Amino acid sequence: MTHIIAIALCIAGFASLCAAMVRHQPDFVGRKLDAGTSRLLRHAGFSLLLAALAVDMIGLGAGYGAVAWCAHLTLGAGLVLFRLNRTIARQPVKAKPARKG
């Protein structure tokens, strides 16, 4: 259960970080976000990743939790990257990125 919660938090965290990056916003969010929102998303992203660490360390013990967190981070980042790629692949060529990722 701890694994699932932590992975979910990592996915949310990396999704926020990705959405906070200006060059990915057209693909990932569908439009450019203003600087304030981006900054908020970036802070939210790091906070979510830290929350995942807290969940892991509380649920699995400090050492074990830290190791598991590294694995969860990898998995979360990989899944977000995969999603982003799928979104881009599904967009019609040269069409404006209009759909929400």
3: its two tokens: 């694994």
- Minimal distance, residue 16 CB to another protein, in Å: 12
26 Cβ partners below 8 Å, 6+ apart? 32, 97
Chain contacts with another protein (rule: CB under 8 A)? 3, 18, 21, 24, 28, 63-64, 67-68, 70-75, 77-78, 80-82, 84-85, 88-89
Q: How far apart, in Å, are the Cα atoms of 88 and each of 27, 84, 93? A: 6, 6, 9
Rounded to an integer, what distance in angstroms lies between the CA atom of residue 31 and that of residue 28? 8
For another protein, the closer CB: 64 or 96: 64
- Minimal distance, residue 71 CB to another protein, in Å: 4
- Minimal distance, residue 21 CB to another protein, in Å: 7
